[in-house]
Every structure is written in structure tokens, then in C-alpha cells.
Amino acid sequence: MNNNEIIPWFILLNPLITAVLILFVFRKNHGTAATVSTMSAFFGLVGSLCAFTLAPTHTLVLWIDIPGLQIPIGVQLDHLSQVMLLVVTGIGFLVHLYSTVYMEHDESKARFFGHLSLFMFSMLGIVLADNFAMMFIFWELVGVSSYLLIGHWFTRDAAGKAANKAFMMNRIGDFGFMLGILMLWSTAGTVTFKGLEAATGTLTTNPMFLTAAILLVFCGAMGKSAQFPLHTWLPDAMEGPTPVSALIHAATMVAAGVFMLARIAFLIGLSPAAALIIAWIGAITSILAALMATQQDDIKRILAYSTLSQLGYMVMAIGLAPDPSGGPAMFHLFTHAFFKALLFLGAGAVIHALHHEQDIWKMGGLSKHMPKTTVTFAIGTAALTGFPLLAGFWSKDSILAAASEKSTPLYIIGLCVAVLTAFYMTRLFVVAFLGKPRTEAAHHGHDCPARMTVPLLILAVLSVIAGFVPEKWFFSAHQHFHWNIAIPATIAFAVGTAIAFKIYSGKDKDPIRVSAFRNKFYLDEIYGAIVAGTQDVLAYIANAVDSLISGIVRLAGMAAWGVGFLFRLLQFGNVQGYSFVFGLGVVGLIWFVVFK
Amino acid sequence: MTVLNFIVLLPILNAIAIACGAPARKSALLSAWTQLALTIVAMCGYRGGFAYGSTWAVAPEWGLNLTFGADGLALVMLLLTAIVTVAAVWVTPKIEKRENLFYACVLLISGGAAGAFASVDMFFFYAFHELALIPTFLLIGIWGQGERQVAAWKITIYLAVGSMILLVGLAKLYLAFPEGARTFDMIEMTKARHLIPAAEQGGIYIWLLVGFGVLISLFPFHSWAAPAYAAAPTPAAMLHAGVLKKFGLYGLIRIAVPLLPEGAKVWMNLLLVLLVANILYIGLVTIAQKKLDWMLGYSSVMHMGYIFLGIAAGNAIGITGASLLMLGHGLSIAALFAMCGYLRQTSPSLAFTSLGGIAKKAPFLGYAFGMAAFASIGLPGFANFASEAMVFFGAFKAGPAATLDFSSIQLATVCGLWGVVISAVYMLRAYRQIFQGEPQANVAAFKDPSCSIKWSVILLLAALMVGGLWPKSMLNFIQPSVEALIGK
């Protein structure tokens, strides 16, 4: 084995070993657990930096190998995975560092770090996977680690429920994902991405079939990347600790769906119908989520809806421009990871300082007491809303350019989302950080210790410069700068920001009330009614029918075998009774053999 | 005498010794561990084909002999038997009445199951299973809880009827061979399978399907399962759901699949309907359960549907997956019943509403139950995922490629995939209600179980993980045997 082969395997296995070590050896030793986990995340980052310079490689071992079915566990180190490795390990390390302070007094700190390392392992498995089956395996493991981390404070009822909901929504998506994999495999005879790429000739013989298969695989992404209508779990997932929200439910795991779609961009490119549907699902998610975000009061939920909206952007971009190098979608995933992680960690710093207050209307005036947090949060907000020359500006620009080329309605939706993004983020910033403190807690805000602020500063710098990476990181063709896109986008930013300033500065409560937005279009209630109306009713009926079957069988049994007679003849719990019934069998056999 | 003979004889002789007054728990534990060690020795020494053969003539003129021998598939089933036996003996709590008889019964189930899996002769294959059923009935009837005698009689009569239907099927199969070629030797039968007229296969297959189906709790012959497992003492539930129920599936793979391929085609659509009912309908019934033991009983019934799906696929991928799933399901349901038994001992009720917050009081139990639950709903890392995936791959491949006009088995596969969602619904809900949340008042004094329960659960989970992380370890045994059976 040479470096090219060892480094990717090291990156993959390092967090697994750490997780096992923490969960089995250091589970009572909280300080050690945190240190080991953070060190391991750091080594992962170093490994990813080394891997970035490596030539593309591909190694595998066969996990299942029987005639007709080969499932490898293999790493595919190429451009797409190299960039994604940097995002996952980079933000992963910063979040680990931040968590050492944020979770300092948690009574289950070791468990937290163990699960965090387990998550890193699962996520890196998705990134490095060279085939669908392996990706599905790690996909499920990411689901488990997310379940564990959302439910970290499982004694709270809401946390347990949110963890369940996240897992279930993902399972529903994975139903489609697995079916899509089966369809592609049965036709192409392989699950590896390289093999599928080579088999495009076979796959395109039936375009309807291919479209259906791609859309089913996309269902998996709809679950993981929380696309409408499977998006409702993500806001609830904010019940988890804030560092988890930053790492998993903003920067990395929820981006896995987008990453998967980028991995199979070569397939999506073969089916324009599938690409169009994917783009529209993304667009619908992004506009609905942006509307919901405008009326939320919980700082983490606003950011969660913003994440949904931005994920919708990325999915739309995949549908518009399926580029095997990633295209605008991966570019936006890359920049978004930095500024959204920054915003979440900033929110975490606020929540930490305010003793777990999350309502923005109970904050206010934080800029005076928490200058570092405020400045970094402002940079994150500016980057997200598309302030010219910051990271989000460039990636959003490339998405809008793709939209304007392909579809005017999607371009208009994209611009509307840009206005709304600027609006709700400015609302959040104005209400929470500017003006006067509205509660006692907000008076006593303070900046957090260095291990919490250093990650904020690093992420703030990255949020400024991430847009300037070489374009060959994400694009196979040369990109032009579009004035005709940049100007409307900047106007959208300015309009949204200005309106929010005008409405919200100096206000003590929300002057606008749109109950449909505030109540998430009542989708949770609707889903609850659907589950109660179908599954629960069916389960009730099935259970009743089953009692009936049981009764019928009993009657039939009594009639046919004269059980009433046997019951009287044999004593309950009696050896002879049971042996007698058994003996009938042997007698029957002898009768058959001898007399038949 | 080969190592295989010892694997079968050891638990039976020990059962007799214990019944005669040998120290019960110690002898049983020693026997179980020795059985496991011998099984591992047998697996290490296995070099392909049918190994460790030995035979004693009983009625040679009918082709009836007491013949033992094991291929890779049989060895994996023997491994399952041995592991679950160790765990079942180990978790047994203090028995108040007739302790010696209790342990003798437990070992007898194990011996009967091992005998069935190690038998090459069809008659003894059947007889060993019957031998294992008697102590099962006794354990439920004498040491069970709740409506134990009703449940014991229900399972007795139900399984006796199933056994007799099976017997008719086996007899018909024996007689389907032309005179002179008749034998009970299953290896010989497989070699001479072309002698069975294709037209008669359907008539034999349905008897076997119903007969084995009753033993496996195939819909609609499943209603014995949940009440019996709820009433059974923990080791009996573990051994029956984990091991003995696999006898029927093993029989289908060993007898019906290789000998009656034409018969399988005749009844394919019926089987698909029944197995989808096992997955979807029983899945819904499982969701409606309000007590842990009943829910686990029904979930075990539901998971039989996946194994049937692999068998219905009829190809090497599906049947290999089904075989591995027998191992995975057996280990995971045994672990779940072991922990359920501990909860029953320590809690006033197993109703979900009366439990809550146990994970805080008993972190080990919270973790271990979570792992077993995740294993049973098919999470990667455990044998169940690898095998269910193979079942799905095999079943889907049994239909046409590159078309949206799915064949019936592909539609059944789609239903099976939805079943994975259903199983997550009931398992996670149960886990949340029992383990998460603030500890309720009536579990205030709840503690983690004793070492013996802990380690037996760890043993089961570790075996599940070996099969899940490194499925090749088991597939190397199963796959050549399956290839030999289906003749490719």
C-alpha cells in the first residue's frame, strides 16, 4: 500500500476507532473523551489536507462477494470527495473544539463525544464511498448517529420525539433510495458509480425506467437533505445540542443528499425529466422554508429554516446544472457550510451566555456585551444574505446564473428567496443584537472563552474568502462573471435588508403575524392527521382482524380435533398430554410408510 | 463418532443427567459452552461438502438410517443454536420449582434443534424437531406466566397440527420417488431430484409449505406465536423464536427448494401474498401492540416474511440472504427476549405506558436494547442488514430488468422495503416509551441487570456484529451449500 491508499483509509477509520475507544473505554472519563475525540478530528483534518494533494485513487475490499452480487467497501478519492473531505473534517474539527467548552458541564459528555466521532465516521464513509450500497450503509449510520445526537438529552420528551421523527422521515426517504438502487443494479449489474457510468448505454434503453430510478434515489436525498415534503424533521432536530446543529444539521449531514446527487450527476444528466422535477422540488423547498423562516422566534429555528431554504437552492442547482465536478450546487454547499456553521456556533454562544434562552424577542442589545460574537455573526449573516464579494454572493450568483439560463420561473423563485433570506436574517440580527436588552439575561451577555470564539473567528474568515477558491474545484467548464445576474441579486439583498431594518429596528414585539408561516403551513398537523388516519387506523383494524383469525382458528381446531375431549382427558401442564400429541406424529409417519 | 455427534448428544445426555439430579445450572452452563466450543471446532475444521458424516442403520430396506452430516448451512444453524443456548441458560433466573426439570427442558430444546440441523435423514430431521417441541410445551405450561396453560395448549395443538401436515407432505415426497429409488437420505434425494415428476410437485409443495409454514408462523397460521412467547419463560422464548422456529425455514431451503422447483412455481403467487401479509399486515398488528412482549412476538412473526421473500426469490442471492437472515434474526430476537425477560422480572408490567426513562436508571440496558432493536430493524453493522439487503437484491433480480412493469416478486420486494419503515415505527416508538424520557416513579429503583444477563446479551450482540461487519465469515459457509442445493 502506498500513501494514496493509506491516507483515505486512515481518514475513514480514525473516527471509528476513536468512537469505539470512547464508548467502551473512556465512557466514564469525560475529560479524556473530549480530548481524544478532538485530537482525532484534528488528525482527520490533517489527513484530508494531505489527501487533497493526492492523485485520484480508488481502492476496495469486497464486503459481500457471492456469484451475482458484489458489494465492495471502497474509497473513491477524486475531486468531489477531496473537497467534501475538507468541509467535513474542517468544520468537524472546529465544532469539536467548540464543544469542549459548550458541553463542559454536561453529565454525559463522554457519550456526546463518542457519538460525535461515530457521526464523523459515518459521514466520511458517505463522502468516500465508491458505490451505492456502501453509500447506503453509511447513509443509515449517519441516520443513527443523528438520532443519537438529537436525542442526546433523551430525558426531555421533545428530544426523544424529535430524534424519532428525524429517523422516520429519513427511513421513508430511504425506502425510495433502496428501491432506486435495486432498479439501477438489476439493470446495470453493478452498484459502483464507475460501473454505472460505464453502463449508461444499457440504462438509457428505457428512459421512463431511468427517470423513475433516479427520482427514487432522489427520495433518499429528500430525506437526508430535508426537501419538501420530507423536511419537517429538520427544525425539530434543533432539540439537539447546538454544536450538533451546526455540524450535522447545517453544514455536513444535511448536505449529504446534495453530495450524493452530485456523485450521480452523470445519471441525472441522462434524464431531463428527472432533472426538472429535482429542480422544482428544490425550488419549492427553498421558497416555502424562506417564508416559514420569516415568522419564527427561536434563534435556532430561524437558522434551521434558513438551512432548509439553502438546501433547496442546492438541490435546485443540481437539477439545473448536473455537473460531475459538483457545479454551482457543490460550490454553494461549500460556502454555505462555513457561514451556516458560523451562524449556528454564534447562536450557540448567545444561548450559552444567556443561560439557554433561545427566543430572539427576549434578547436585544447583545452587540454591547458580546462584541466578538456580534461581529462574527454579522459576517455570517452578510455572507448568507449575499452581501457583495462575500462567500454566499459568489455561489448564489452561480446558481442564479444557471437558473436564468434554463428556466425563468425558477430564476424568479431564486430571486424571491434571495429577498426573503436577506429579510429574515436581518430581522434576526436587528432583534437579537441591536436595540436595547429586553430581559435581565440579555443584560448579562458576555463573550465566551477562547476555545469557543476561535472557531467563530476562523469560520468568519472563511465566510469572507471561501468564494474565491479556484473555479476548477467545482466546475468542469470555465465560468463567466454575470453582471446581469449580480446586479439583480444585489438589489434583492438590498431590498430584503432594507425592509427588515425598517420594520424591525427598535421594536419589542413582532409587528407582523402571518399564522400560516408561523405554523409551518400546518404541515406537522397535516402529517399527524395522515398518520392517525391511515397507519393508526389500519393498525387498529389489523389488530382486530387478528383477534378474529385467532378465534376462528381456535374454533376450527376444536371442531377438527375434538379438543374439548382432549382438554378433559389430559391434565394441563402434564407431560403425558404433550407427549401424546407428539406421539401422534410418529404413529402417523409409520402408518404412512408401512400402509401406503 | 464425530464432533457432530457430540454436538447433538451432549445437550441431550446432559438433559438426562440433570433430570436425574446433576447440579442443574452448573451442568447446563458447562454443556452449553462445550456445545459452542465444539461447534466452533467443527466450523474451523470444515472443508466443504457434507462433513462429519456418520450413520447407523435403522430400517435400510426403507432407506431409513440415523445419519448425521453437516454442510456449511447446517454448521451456521448449529452455531446459532449453540450461541442462543449459552445465552438462554445464562440468563435463566433462579427457578423456584423443579429447577432440574427446567434446565433439562432447556437443554433438550437445544439438543433437538441441533439434532434436526445435523440430520441428513429426513425422518430424524423431523423427529428431532418434535423432540424439541415437547420441552417447549412443558416450559410454557409449567414455568410460564399469565395465561400460560391456554398458551401452552394453543401452541401444542397448533404445532402438532402443523407437524402432521408436514408429515403428510414428507410422506408424499418420499412416495413420489419411484420404487427402488425411495430413501430418507436428503443428500441422495437431492441427487435424484429429477425422478420426481414435475406434475406431482405442486401437490407435494403445498403440504410442505403449509406444514413448515405453521411452524414458522406464516400468515394466516401465526396466531399461536405472540401469546406463546408472551407466556413462555425467557429461555424458552429465546430458544423457540431464535432457533426452533428456524427449523421450518431450514426445511424449506433443505427440502422444498432443491427438490420441488416446479412446485414452487405453482404456488409462487400464493406464497408472495402470504409473505407480504406477514410483512405489512403483521407489521400493522405489531404497531397496535401495547405491551413489549406481545410486540416482540409479533415483530418476530413479521420478520419471517423477509426470510420467505429470500426463499421465494429462488436464486442464490436470495436464498443465501435468507439463510444469513435466519442467523441474524435468531440472535437479535434472542437478545430482545432476554432483555424483555429482565424487564418482566423487575417491573410491575410490560405495558409501554407504565414504563419510561429506564435508560437513565440502567444505561447498559438502554444501550444494549437500542443495539438489539436497531439490529432487528435492519441497521448496517448487524447481520440483519447484510442479509436483508441480499434478500432484497435477490428478490428484485428474480424479476425482469429495465422495465417499470414489475413482476409479482418485485412488487413483493417493494412491499418488503416498506416493511422496513413499519418496523422502525414500532421499534423506535417502543424504545422511546420504555427507555427515554424522565424515569417514572415505578422504575425509580430500576438497576442494570446482573453480569450473567449482561454478558449473554453482549455475546449475542457481538455475534450479530461479526455477521454484519464481516458477512463473508458466514457467507463462506452458507454460499457453497446453497449453490449445491439449487444446483448451479
Chain B residues with CB-CB distance to A270 below 8 A: none
Residue A510 buriedness (CB in 10 A; 0-12 / 13-18 / 19+): middle
CA distances from A356 to A152, B223, B449 (A): 16, 51, 36
Nearest C-alpha of chain B: how many angstroms from A341?
Answer: 29
Q: Which range (A55-69, A205-219, A486-500, B285-299) has the least confidence? A: A55-69
Per-residue confidence (pLDDT) for residue A407, from 0 to 100: 87
Per-residue confidence (pLDDT) for residue A561, from 0 to 100: 55
C-alpha cell at position B467: 455477521
Q: Quick check: A490 and A416 in contact, CB under 8 A?
A: no
Nearest C-alpha of chain B: how many angstroms from A211?
Answer: 10
Sequence-distant (6+) residues with CB within 8 A of A453 are: A349, A372, A373, A376, A447
Dihedral angle sign, alpha carbons of residues A241, A247, A253, A257: positive
Q: Which of B448, B428, B439 is nearest to B357 (CA)?
A: B439
Give the side-chain half-sphere CA count within 13 A for B213. 21
Per-residue confidence (pLDDT) for residue A225, from 0 to 100: 92
Please name the member of B160, B385, B417 whose beta carbon is closest to the beta carbon of A581: B160
Q: Do A155 and B438 make contact, defined as CB atoms within 8 angstroms? A: yes
Chain B residues with CB-CB distance to A563 below 8 A: 153, 157
The three-class DSSP label of residue A324 is coil
Rounded mean pLDDT, A467-483: 81
The model's confidence at residue A448, banded by pLDDT at 50, 70 and 90, is: confident
Chain B: residue whose CA lies nearest to A141:
B380
Q: Do B396 and A581 make contact, defined as CB atoms within 8 angstroms? A: no
Q: Is B80 on the interface with A (CB under 8 A)?
A: no
Q: Do B288 and A539 make contact, defined as CB atoms within 8 angstroms? A: yes
Per-residue confidence (pLDDT) for residue B426, from 0 to 100: 93
State yes or no: pLDDT of B269 exceeds 80: yes
pLDDT in tens, B186-244: 998 988 888 998 888 999 999 999 999 999 999 888 888 998 999 999 999 999 999 99
Pairing mode, strands A69-77 and A57-66: antiparallel
Mean pLDDT taken over chain A: 87
Nearest C-alpha of chain A: how many angstroms from B257?
Answer: 19
State yes or no: pLDDT of B362 exceeds 50: yes
The model's confidence at residue B444, banded by pLDDT at 50, 70 and 90, is: confident
Size of interface A-B (CB pairs under 8 A): 203
Residue A408 buriedness (CB in 10 A; 0-12 / 13-18 / 19+): exposed
Q: For residues A457 and A566, what is the distance between their CA atoms, to the nearest angstrom? A: 82
Please name the member of A64, A151, A187 whose beta carbon is closest to the beta carbon of B402: A187
| Residue B440 phi, psi (nearest 5) | -75, 165
State yes or no: pLDDT of A590 exceeds 80: no
- DSSP annotation string for A383-406: HHHT-TTSHHHHHHHHHHHHHHHH
State yes or no: pLDDT of A456 exceeds 50: yes
Q: For residues B253 and A553, what is the distance between their CA atoms, to the nearest angstrom? A: 27
In the stretch 199-228 of chain A, residues with CB closer than 8 A to chain B read: 202-203, 205-206, 208-209, 212
Q: Which of A532-536, B73-77, B220-224 has the highest mean pLDDT?
A: B73-77
Q: For residues A403 and B392, what is the distance between their CA atoms, to the nearest angstrom? A: 39
- The letter for the amino acid at B470 is W
Check residue A120 and report its DSSP letter. Answer: H
Per-residue confidence (pLDDT) for residue A321, from 0 to 100: 87
State yes or no: pLDDT of A56 exceeds 60: yes
B444 or A3: which carries more pLDDT confidence? B444
Rounded mean pLDDT, A433-452: 81
Q: Do A578 and B359 make contact, defined as CB atoms within 8 angstroms? A: no
Nearest C-alpha of chain A: how many angstroms from B138?
Answer: 6
In the stretch 2-61 of chain B, residues with CB closer than 8 A to chain A read: none
pLDDT in tens, B399-418: 888 888 888 999 999 999 99
Q: Which of B309, B443, B326, B434 is nearest to B383 (CA)?
A: B326
Rounded mean pLDDT, A324-344: 91
Chain A: residue whose CA lies nearest to B468:
A63
Rounded mean pLDDT, B327-353: 91
Q: Quick check: B254 and B485 in contact, CB under 8 A?
A: yes
Per-residue confidence (pLDDT) for residue A587, from 0 to 100: 57
A54 membership: H or E segment, kind and range:
none
Chain A residues with CB-CB distance to B170 below 8 A: 589
Chain A residues with CB-CB distance to B429 below 8 A: 164
Q: Which range (A413-422, A467-476, B44-53) has the least confidence? A: A467-476
Residue with cell 457561514: A339
Q: In whole angstroms, how large is the CA radius of gyration of chain B?
A: 21
Q: For residues B323 and A63, what is the distance between their CA atoms, to the nearest angstrom? A: 17
Q: For residues B252 and B207, what is the distance between their CA atoms, to the nearest angstrom? A: 11
Q: For residues B206 and B18, what is the distance between their CA atoms, to the nearest angstrom? A: 41
Nearest C-alpha of chain A: how many angstroms from B35?
Answer: 26
Q: Do A578 and B138 make contact, defined as CB atoms within 8 angstroms? A: yes
How many helices (H) and strands (E) are present in chain B, helices listed first?
A: 23, 2
Q: Do A179 and B472 make contact, defined as CB atoms within 8 angstroms? A: no
In the stretch 275-334 of chain B, residues with CB closer than 8 A to chain A read: 281-282, 284-285, 287-289, 315-317, 320
Chain A residues with CB-CB distance to B473 below 8 A: none
State yes or no: pLDDT of B297 exceeds 80: yes
Give the side-chain half-sphere CA count within 13 A for A24. 9
Q: Which of A44-53, A66-75, A417-426 has the highest mean pLDDT?
A: A417-426
State yes or no: pLDDT of A227 exceeds 90: yes
pLDDT in tens, A180-198: 999 999 999 899 999 998 9
The model's confidence at residue B320, banded by pLDDT at 50, 70 and 90, is: very high
Please name the member of A159, A566, A584 whose beta carbon is closest to the beta carbon of B164: A584
Q: Do A64 and B471 make contact, defined as CB atoms within 8 angstroms? A: yes
A257 membership: H or E segment, kind and range:
helix A256-263
Residue A157 buriedness (CB in 10 A; 0-12 / 13-18 / 19+): middle
C-alpha cell at position A275: 432533472
Chain A: residue whose CA lies nearest to B439:
A155
State yes or no: pLDDT of A586 exceeds 60: no
Per-residue confidence (pLDDT) for residue A596, from 0 to 100: 46
Per-residue confidence (pLDDT) for residue A562, from 0 to 100: 54
Q: Is A567 on the interface with B (CB under 8 A)?
A: yes
Q: For residues A536 and B352, what is the distance between their CA atoms, to the nearest angstrom? A: 16
State yes or no: pLDDT of B125 exceeds 50: yes
In the stretch 357-386 of chain A, residues with CB closer than 8 A to chain B read: none
Q: Quick check: B123 and B27 in contact, CB under 8 A?
A: no
Tally of residues, chain A = 596
Residue with cell 453493522: B381
Chain A: residue whose CA lies nearest to B418:
A175
B interface mutation test: which of A66, A112, A203, A527 has the most B CBs within 10 A? A66
Pairing mode, strands B51-59 and B64-70: antiparallel
The model's confidence at residue A568, banded by pLDDT at 50, 70 and 90, is: very low
Give the side-chain half-sphere CA count within 13 A for B190. 20
Q: Could you tell me which residues are beta bridge partners of residue B373?
A: none
Per-residue confidence (pLDDT) for residue B442, from 0 to 100: 78
Mean pLDDT taken over chain B: 91
Q: Is B428 on the interface with A (CB under 8 A)?
A: yes
Q: In whole angstroms, how large is the CA radius of gyration of chain A?
A: 28
The model's confidence at residue B128, banded by pLDDT at 50, 70 and 90, is: very high
Please name the member of A186, A209, A578 whose beta carbon is closest to the beta carbon of B134: A578
Tally of residues, chain B = 488
Q: Do A69 and B393 make contact, defined as CB atoms within 8 angstroms? A: yes
Sequence-distant (6+) residues with CB within 8 A of A56 are: A77, A78, A79
Q: Do A155 and B168 make contact, defined as CB atoms within 8 angstroms? A: no
Pairing mode, strands B51-59 and A57-66: unpaired
In the stretch 116-175 of chain A, residues with CB closer than 8 A to chain B read: 133, 136-138, 140-141, 144, 151, 154-157, 159-161, 163-164, 167-168, 171-172, 174-175
Residue A50 buriedness (CB in 10 A; 0-12 / 13-18 / 19+): middle
Residue with cell 463418532: B1
Per-residue confidence (pLDDT) for residue B482, from 0 to 100: 93
Per-residue confidence (pLDDT) for residue B352, from 0 to 100: 87
Specify the long-range contacts of residues A577-580, CB closer than 8 Å, at least 24 apart. Answer: A577/B156, A578/B134, A578/B137, A578/B138, A578/B141, A578/B156, A579/B134
In the stretch 54-73 of chain A, residues with CB closer than 8 A to chain B read: 62-69, 71
